[in-house]
Amino acid sequence: MHKFLKIVLQIFNYSLFMGVVWYFSLYPAYHQLDENQAMITFTLGHVGKHVQECRRMTQEELLKLAPNMRKPMDCTRERSPITMELQMDGKVIYNKTAPPLGLFKDQGIDIYQNIKVPAGKHHLLVWINDDIKVKGPTYRLEQDISLKPEQHMIIEFNSSAGKFIIK
């Protein structure tokens, strides 16, 4: 084959290869949200309440223990599962019951959940139950919110403050 034609073909082949490299390095574009959608992230890092009430130990019982073991409260290790729910305009958009982690079910859980929602004004209700001995929510928040398209709203349960925070 003529040398010039070979070079032309080489240029074509290089262009084809680099064309594939360029295209798939950018396209097809990934549509994370539809038009006029926003994102809510519901998150918590929390340890449920003990499944049984703690009992205050008597003085006699404490004296029978080694000095370094003398804790005033006697608690079982197992923690309650955590039930959580997010409602928007009266409709449940997220609901989950997460069991405690660990071999002895004594660990907390971490939740990080993305939920796509329509932008606009909404009425939000969020609650969790972290105590198996209590029926219904142990913490709740009800609030009107306004979401812009592409807005990322974080609804976090702050365990140390014991309340929901919306950012």
Partner 1 sequence: MSYINPVKRAYLALENWFNISFGNDWNPLYHLGTLAFFFFWVIFVSGLYLFIFFDTSLSGAYASVEYMTHEQWYAAGVMRSLHRYASDAVVLTIILHMFREFSLDRYRGFRWFSWITGVPNLWFVVTLGITGYWLVWDELALFVAIKSSQLMDALPFLPASMSRNFLESQINDRFFTLMGFLHLLGQPVFLAFALWIHVKRLSDVSIIAPRGLAIGSFVALLVLSLLAPAVSHEAADLAKTPAVLNIDWFYLNIYPLLDNWSSGEVWVLTIGITVFLMLMPWLPPKKTGPAAEVHLQECNGCEQCAMDCPFDAISVQARTDGARWEHEVVVLEHLCAACGICVGSCHSSNPFRHAREKLVTGIDMPQQPINDIREHVTAAIDSLEGENKIIIFGCDNAIDFAGLKSSNIAVVSYFCAGMIPPTMIEYALKLGADGVFITGCRTGDCYYRHGNRWFDERFAGSRQPILRKRADRRRIHIFRAAETDCKKLRKELAYFEDSLAKLKREAANTGEADHA
Residues that bind partner 1 (CB under 8 A): 1, 6, 9-10, 12-15, 17-18, 20-22, 24-35, 37-39, 43, 45, 110, 112, 149-152, 154, 156, 167
* Closer Cβ to partner 1, 38 or 138, answer by number: 38
Min. distance of Cβ 75 from partner 1 in angstroms? 22
- Strand 120-129 to 109-118 pairing: unpaired
Q: Spell out the long-range contacts of 2-7 with Cβ–Cβ below 8 A and sequence spacing 24 or more.
A: none
Min. distance of Cβ 150 from partner 1 in angstroms? 5
Measured CA to CA in angstroms, residue 157 lies from 50, 51, 76, 111, 151 at distances of 19, 21, 25, 10, 19
Min. distance of Cβ 35 from partner 1 in angstroms? 7
- Strand 82-88 to 120-129 pairing: antiparallel
Tell me how far apart the alpha carbons of residues 159 and 100 are, in angstroms, rounded to a whole number.
15
Min. distance of Cβ 161 from partner 1 in angstroms? 13
* Closer Cβ to partner 1, 57 or 108, answer by number: 108
Min. distance of Cβ 37 from partner 1 in angstroms? 7
CB 89 within 8 A of CB 58: no
* Closer Cβ to partner 1, 17 or 104, answer by number: 17
Our measurement of the distance from residue 35's CA atom to the centroid of its chain's CA atoms, rounded to an integer in Å, reads 24
* Closer Cβ to partner 1, 72 or 102, answer by number: 102
List beta partners, residue 161: none
